[in-house]
């Protein structure tokens, strides 16, 4: 159901009524939302806007960049650098941090983002998104990469925008999870769900099954038990989904429950996983926890992991609480 509460009003209320966010953070989140609107426009134009296909470059992770990876990154940088709310930004698509140029005032916050999540889905017209995380800059003079290396539990805001059949912005400032649908006629995000809750139990799991032979024993055991269905130890049938856009898989879980896993596997045993801690696992982990779910790497709560590198990877298991706890218990 649509409300008459815009994102702007919701944020003002979080600032005024709940005293949760300072004005500078509110303004920063408005700018992030505006960036997502621009990215949504570009995504929607698709081939008409010449935004599909591959760019001739690689990012720091050694992945071929898509044109939209670069466009979304530029939109976020350009929109956020001049407002005076930020000290620096970090992105999946940039090796080092981006310090706000000194022609602009420096703010108190740090913004991290995955500008375009689900890049393999861009050209095939399947849901993609933008993920973001906001940290407070520690006291001190010159901002550095070290300032970003804070546990996920220190986030002051996190969210994502999913560009699917609808464009939906999902946000937490530590007071539960709220969803806002983009009203294209009004040009604004409208609150369409508050107090989002992930059901503690589920019969739906999400994992890339093609990697099964590379998994570790606990993950293999969990999935085997799901596949055994009614006749197996779980005594119920399970359904499976894998969109290959973390935003879209997490959005489904926030909407109807489920468990999402991108675990460490033996393909590249020295890598802790595929997904990135700072701008994928942390913001998604906090959203899921704020909705009553859980997020772990199997051994430790995602939000408690002390980062040592900006682009560090992590094993991710998140979603419905009882299922996530079960997977953790198989790791014990
Ligand atoms: P990105 O497009 O930002 O690199 O992220 C893609 C991630 C994530 O969104 C998704 O869950 C996963 O990669 C899919 O990986 P596979 O293609 O290995 O299934
Ligand atoms: Mn991603
Ligand atoms: Mn990405």
- For the whole prediction, is pTM greater than 0.75? yes
CA distance 124 to 262: 22
pLDDT at 1 > cutoff 80: no
pLDDT tens-digit readout, 125-164: 999 999 999 999 999 879 999 999 999 999 999 999 999 9
Contact partners, residue 209, CB within 8 Å, separation at least 6: 223, 240, 242
CA distance 125 to 298: 33
- Which stretches of 86-176 are assigned E, i.e. beta strand? 86-91, 98-99, 109-117, 128-136, 157-163, 167-172
- Give the pairing of strands 157-163 and 259-262: unpaired
118 Cβ below 6 A of ligand 1: yes
117 Cβ below 6 A of ligand 1: yes
pLDDT at 97 > cutoff 70: yes
How would you class 187 by CB atoms within 10 Å of its CB: exposed for 0-12, middle for 13-18, buried for 19 or more? exposed
- Give the pairing of strands 177-183 and 167-172: antiparallel
Residues paired with 205 in a beta bridge: 240, 259
Ligand 2 center to 242 CA (angstroms): 14
Predicted pLDDT of residue 313: 97
Q: How confident is the model at residue 181 (pLDDT cuts 50, 70, 90)?
A: very high
Ligand 3 center to 228 CA (angstroms): 34
Give the ligand whose atoms come closest to the C-alpha of residue 245.
Answer: 1
User: Exposure pattern of 282-321 as b/e (b: 16+ CB <10 Å)?
Assistant: bbbbbbbbbbbbbbbbbeebbbebebeebbbbbbbbbbbb
| Helix, coil or strand: residue 152 | helix
CA distance 308 to 329: 26
Take residue 34 and report the two structure tokens written for it: 């505006």
Q: How far is CA 199 from CA 20, 207, 257, 298, in A?
A: 26, 19, 5, 20
263 Cβ below 6 A of ligand 1: no
Contact partners, residue 58, CB within 8 Å, separation at least 6: 64, 65
Predicted pLDDT of residue 18: 85
Q: Whose CA is nearest to atom 14 of ligand 1?
A: 244
Which contacts (CB < 8 Å, 24+ apart) does range 208-211 have?
A: 208/242, 208/244, 208/262, 209/240, 209/242, 211/265, 211/267
Q: Residue range 318-329: average pLDDT?
A: 98
Q: How confident is the model at residue 2 (pLDDT cuts 50, 70, 90)?
A: low
Give the ligand whose atoms come closest to the C-alpha of residue 63.
Answer: 1
Q: What percent of the chain stands above pLDDT 90?
A: 95
The answer to whether the beta carbons of residues 14 and 175 sit under 8 Å apart is yes
The answer to whether the beta carbons of residues 10 and 47 sit under 8 Å apart is no
Q: Residue range 35-51: average pLDDT?
A: 96
The answer to whether the beta carbons of residues 62 and 42 sit under 8 Å apart is no
| Phi, psi for 325 (deg, rounded to 5) | -65, -35
127 Cβ below 6 A of ligand 1: no
CA distance 159 to 114: 11
244 Cβ below 6 A of ligand 1: yes
Ordered structural domains, the chain, with CATH = 7-193 (3.30.540.10), 204-331 (3.40.190.80)
Q: Whose CA is nearest to atom 17 of ligand 1?
A: 244
Q: How far is CA 278 from CA 133, 222, 312, in A?
A: 8, 27, 7
pLDDT tens-digit readout, 192-242: 999 999 999 999 999 999 999 999 999 999 999 999 999 999 999 999 999
Predicted pLDDT of residue 130: 99
Ligand 3 center to 230 CA (angstroms): 38
Alpha helices in 55-142 (DSSP H): 67-80
What's the whole-number average pLDDT of the chain?
Answer: 96
Residues paired with 158 in a beta bridge: 133, 172
Predicted pLDDT of residue 64: 86
Q: Residue range 282-292: average pLDDT?
A: 99
């Amino acid at each position: 159901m649509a409300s008459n509460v815009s994102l702007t009003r919701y944020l003002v209320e979080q600032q005024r009524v709940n005293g949760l966010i300072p004005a500078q953070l509110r303004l920063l989140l408005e700018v992030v939302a505006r960036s997502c609107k621009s990215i949504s426009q570009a995504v929607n134009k698709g081939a008409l806007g010449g935004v599909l296909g591959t760019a001739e470059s690689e990012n720091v992770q050694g992945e071929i960049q898509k044109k939209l990876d670069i466009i979304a990154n530029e939109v976020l940088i350009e929109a956020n650098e001049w407002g005076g709310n930020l000290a620096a930004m970090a992105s999946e698509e940039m090796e080092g941090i981006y310090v706000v140029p000194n022609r602009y005032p420096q703010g108190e916050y740090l913004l991290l983002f995955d500008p375009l999540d689900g890049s393999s889905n861009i050209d095939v017209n399947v849901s993609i998104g933008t993920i973001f995380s906001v940290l407070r800059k520690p006291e001190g003079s010159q901002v550095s990469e070290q300032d970003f290396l804070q546990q996920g539990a220190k986030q002051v805001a996190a969210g994502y925008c999913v560009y699917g059949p609808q464009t939906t912005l999902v946000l937490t400032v530590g007071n539960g999870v709220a969803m806002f649908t983009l009203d294209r006629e009004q040009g604004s995000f409208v609150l369409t769900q508050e107090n989002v809750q992930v059901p503690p139990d589920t019969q739906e799991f999400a994992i890339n099954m093609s990697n099964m032979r590379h998994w570790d024993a606990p993950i293999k055991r969990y999935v085997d038990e799901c596949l055994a269905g009614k006749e197996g130890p779980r005594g119920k049938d399970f359904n499976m989904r894998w969109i290959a856009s973390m935003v879209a898989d997490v959005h489904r879980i926030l909407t109807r429950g489920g468990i999402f896993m991108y675990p460490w596997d033996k393909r590249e045993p020295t890598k802790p996983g595929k997904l990135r801690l700072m701008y994928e696992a942390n913001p998604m982990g906090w959203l899921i926890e704020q909705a009553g779910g859980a997020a772990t790497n199997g051994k430790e709560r995602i939000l408690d992991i002390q980062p040592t590198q900006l682009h560090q990877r992590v094993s991710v298991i998140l979603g419905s609480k009882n299922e996530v706890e079960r997977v953790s218990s198989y790791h014990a």
